[in-house]
Amino acid sequence: MDLQQIAADIPEYQAFLTIDELNASSHRLREQFPDLVSIREVGRTRRGDPIKLLTIAGGGDNAFVFGGPHPNEPIGCMTIEYLSQRLCADDDLRAELGYTWHFIKSIDADGMRLNEGWFKGPFTPSNYARHFYRPARHEQVEWTFPINYKALKFDDPLPETRALMRVIDETKPKLLYSLHNAGFGGVYYYVSGECPALYDTFHQIPEWFGLALDLGEPELSFAEPYAPAIYRMLTSNDMYDHLERHGVADPSAVIGFKASSAQYAERYGSFFLIVEMPYFDEPRVNDPSPTETIRRDAILGAMDIAIEHDDWIRGRHAAVEEALRLDTPVRRALEDFLEMSAGFREADREWVMQAEETNRPATQAELFSNLYTSRFYKMLNTGLLARMLRDEIAGGNANPVIQSASNDAEARLTADGRALEGALDYRAIPIRSLVGVQCCAGLATAAYLHSG
């Protein structure tokens, strides 16, 4: 398999496809390749829309690839759009890999429709934040699989999660590829186990598309690295144990997450892959040169910024709570964020004060993570607040408290966006590059597993 040629063949994309556009494309593919492609319903969304599994016939091994595990993550939908077409058109590639491929283009289609306001651009952090939606933890398809770990017990999956379970049970995939993506930074990977033969390839693939590895702070403080920017897949069990180690009396009340698709597929020995892709990058995200700032101080500074931001949102929410009329996914997401942000903070603060690896000069990449990447993600919560209040006003809520808070939220969202964008030498990454990294990493992993 000539992976670099595949990388070169990936076309340019000007925008992300909507759910309706993705569905129409799948049916065109079946019409074009009726002997290879089949489509069947494997469940229904909470709104009642069909969840369709697209299968491309091939070898005896099964690969299951699903996009949109969080509905603000459409890069994977575009990756499936390209990969499914390439597999149908390239008989040699399909035969060499030896898989039957199963795809769900967007597993949380209901939630993804709530993000479509930014899918056609402009691609700026501010516009992304203004139209951003990410569900509350108990409404996240990827993190509501059954679990029974210590005091963390759950067995009531969402309809979309049940659809994933059904496909995993039926296919027992050798490769399970959940197409997540991040928002700002560089490229990093999660894998279900050590795979040294892939590390060099994983490090090279972003270079083919002019992207950088993310060498800053890991997504969670307790992430276990196998190699730079390559981590062992985190589980809710790991979250539980981290909180327990750092003094949280009842981690099950704090986590909010249940098991993931990776944990569910362990019963079949599936190899699990995530390639986290950013929408925006900046030269400092992979700069390993040291700074004069101690890493511990940088992390604590980021925590202080987060506390100020969270307290501001919490105050605005408290001021309007009695006047709110609508129970919307956006409101539930914001209120879940307010609950979650306090739960993890004290455990992380205790970790940073105790961990010896934080008592050294921060790299430029780590300093960037703490100063800027964290501010980007906090701005998304301001976006949720502003959107919740816009929904109330659009729904006919004329309470002056709602209007006043909406004005405040819109003003802060605009100010934070201008300040962040003004402080960064950022770019919106071409969609082609994002698709390319996910596609090539998935194919490299499939080939690695097949040869083993």
List, run by run, the mean pLDDT of 10-residue segments along the chain (452 residues). 97 98 98 98 98 96 98 98 98 97 98 98 98 97 98 97 98 98 92 98 97 90 94 96 90 93 98 96 91 96 91 96 98 92 73 90 94 93 98 98 98 97 96 98 98 84
At 344 the pLDDT is 66
Please tell me the distance from the alpha carbon of residue 326 to that of residue 324, in angstroms, as a whole number: 6
How open is the CA angle 390-395-396, to the nearest 5 degrees?
Answer: 105
At 142 the pLDDT is 97
β-pairing, 175-179 vs 271-276, is parallel
φ, ψ at 274 (rounded to 5°)? -130, 135
Contact of 174 with 268, CB cutoff 8 Å: no
Per DSSP (E only), the strands in 193-318 are 225-227, 230-232, 271-276, 280-281, 290-294
Q: Please tell me the number of Cα atoms within 13 Å of 110 on its side-chain side.
A: 18
At 121 the pLDDT is 97
At 286 the pLDDT is 83
Which CATH architecture does the domain made up of 287-425 adopt? Up-down Bundle (1.20)
β-pairing, 271-276 vs 50-56, is unpaired
φ, ψ at 44 (rounded to 5°)? -130, 145
Fold of 3-282+429-451: Aminopeptidase (3.40.630)
Residue 144 structure tokens: 């509501």
At 29 the pLDDT is 98
The residues that bridge with 213 in the sheet, in sequence order, are: 187
Helix, strand or coil, per DSSP, at residue 60: coil
Helix, strand or coil, per DSSP, at residue 227: strand
At 313 the pLDDT is 96
**Predicted structure pTM score:** 0.95
Residues in the chain: 452
Please report, for the chain, the start and end positions of each structural domain, with discontinuous segments joined by +.
3-282+429-451, 287-425
Contact of 105 with 223, CB cutoff 8 Å: no
Please tell me the distance from the alpha carbon of residue 72 to that of residue 179, in angstroms, as a whole number: 11
HEC string of 39-102 equals EEEEEECCCCCEEEEEEECCCCEEEEEEECCCCCCCHHHHHHHHHHHHHHHCHHHHHHHCEEEE
Q: Which amino acid is at 237?
A: N
At 342 the pLDDT is 64
At 61 the pLDDT is 96
At 343 the pLDDT is 61
Contact of 283 with 262, CB cutoff 8 Å: no
Q: Which residues, in sequence order, are CB contacts of 413 under 8 Å at separation 6+? A: 126, 129, 130, 379, 382, 383, 386
How open is the CA angle 83-377-363, to the nearest 5 degrees?
Answer: 90
